[in-house]
Amino acid sequence: MEYCSHLWFGFAKNQLDALDSADRRARRLIGNDLVVSRLQSLEHRRKVACLAVFYKIHFGECAQELFDLLFEKAIQRSDTMSRRTHKPFMG
Residue 65: domain span: 5-83
Does residue 77 belong to any structural domain of this protein? yes
Residue pair 48/5 in contact by the 8 Å Cβ criterion? no
Does residue 24 belong to any structural domain of this protein? yes
Does residue 91 belong to any structural domain of this protein? no
Residue range 8-17, pLDDT digits in tens: 777 888 888 8
50: Cβ–Cβ under 8 A, 6 or more apart, which residues?
Answer: 6, 9
- pLDDT, residue 91, reads 46
Does residue 15 belong to any structural domain of this protein? yes
Q: With bands split at pLDDT 50, 70 and 90, how would you rate the model's confidence at 61?
A: confident
Q: How many domains does the chain have?
A: 1
Does residue 18 belong to any structural domain of this protein? yes
Q: What is the CA radius of gyration of the chain?
A: 20
Does residue 88 belong to any structural domain of this protein? no
Residue range 35-51, pLDDT digits in tens: 888 888 888 888 888 88
Does residue 35 belong to any structural domain of this protein? yes
Q: Is the pTM of this model over 0.85?
A: no
pLDDT at 89 over 60: no
Does residue 13 belong to any structural domain of this protein? yes
